[in-house]
Structure 1
Amino acid sequence: MAKRESQKPLMIRAIMDLKSHLLHLEKSSESHIQRTKQEAEKLQKGELRVSQAKCAKIQQDIHQLRAQLNVLIIDNRDSELALRKKKYKVEMEIENWIQKYDADMGEKQTEFEEVDAVYTEEKAQLAELKEKYAVLEQEYSQIKEERRRSQEKKERAERELAIMVRAATHIQAFWKGYLVRSLLKSKRKKKGKGKKSKK
């Protein structure tokens, strides 16, 4: 018990030391917390300023981009309108060309059918004429052959006549020569007899 009594002041002292130490720790941690808070607030303010500057820059960029977007939208609308007009014009031209093509093709088809009908008719006439020509050609060939034969016959007759005329001429010439010679002989004989009788 006496031992407990002697340890009491030590414990009180230890408790007092601990309390004092705790108080000191509390104060130092409070000041540390205060400093940390202040530093955090400074950082926060700095970050806030940077963030606000960034936000302002971003807002400015947003305004510029919106302005550019509006300009682009207006340009695109104008461009789209011009392209729509051009497209409409081209579509109308294409429609006109298609109608013209259809009309031209209709005319060409009609013209083709007319020409085809004339061609078919002329083809039939040509076939008929070819048949007639074949008959006429055959007749012409026969006539030509007959004329050739007739000509050959005529030429043969003319050659034979010429030979006969030449032969007759030779015979006549020979006969005349014979007669002349006979006459001359008889005259000579008469002359020879006449001379003999004169002597």
Structure 2
Amino acid sequence: NRNEEPEPKLTEISMDLKTHLHNLTKFSESQIQRTKQEAEKQQKGELRASQAKCTKTQQDIHQLRAQLNALVTEHREAELTLRKKKYKVEMEIENWIQKYDVDMGEKQTEYEEVDEVYTEEKAQLAELKEKYAMLEQEYSQVKEERRLRQEQKEKDERELAIMVRAATQIQALWKGYLVRSLLRFKKKKKGKKGKK
């Protein structure tokens, strides 16, 4: 009997569970259906919004593409002008570089010629300086010799003048002596004549 008692309870529980499961299934299906409908509704709304955005974006793209084409056309001429200017400037720069190279080549040649002349003149100047130093030394010697000769000449002239003065004085004294001697001699002779 004990083994038979639990069966009706199990059946009851099983029935309850089945009912509950059936209700849960119905509720779930209803919930899923509602969720699905809401999702579809939301999806449709989003799709409409997305399509509107796509349409707007397409319009923006067309508009921007038209603006871009207009700008490209507008700026193509400006670019062409700038390219021409760039080419012209590049050619001018190239010409200036060539002119600079030619000028620098000429200047280099001129510098080398001037440097050669300068080196030669420097060597000549050094040689002239050496000659000048020798000549200056010789001139100093000649000057010194002249000075010494002049001093000697002046000394000789002084000595000669002294000797001439001395000779003149000696001659004057000698003449005076001779005159006095002659006068004495004459007096003696006169004296002798008078005595006779």
Partner of 1:179: none
The one-letter code of the counterpart of 1:108 is Y
Change (3 A) 1:60 1:154: farther
What amino acid maps onto 1:123 in structure 2?
A
1:49-198 mapped onto 2 (5 Å cutoff):
49-65=59-75, 67-148=77-158, 150-151=160-161
Alpha-carbon distance in structure 1 between the residues aligned to 2:34 and 2:139 = 142
Separation in 2, partners of 1:112, 1:22: 114
- The one-letter code sitting in structure 2 at the alignment partner of 1:47 is T
Give 1:103 deviation, angstroms: 1.4
In structure 1, C-alpha distance between the alignment counterparts of 2:121 and 2:113, rounded to whole Å: 12
Structure 2 gaps of 5+ residues are 1-7, 174-196
CA distance in 2, matches of 1:62, 1:22: 56
The TM-score, its normalising length taken from structure 2, stands at 0.58
- Normalising by structure 1, we get a TM-score of 0.57
Deviation at 1:109, TM superposition (A): 2.9
- Distance in 2, matches of 1:77 and 1:13, equals 87
Identity of aligned residues (%): 9
Which residue number corresponds to residue 36 of structure 1?
46
Gaps of 5+ in 1: 165-199
What is the CA-CA distance between 1:58 and the residue it aligns to? 3.7
Displacement after TM superposition at 1:153 (Å) = 7.0
Aligned length: 162
Deviations, residues 61-98 of structure 1 (Å, cap 9, x unaligned): 45545544443233122101111111211221121122
Q: Are residues 124 and 28 of structure 1, via their aligned partners in 2, closer, same or farther at CA, if it must alter by over 3 Å?
A: closer
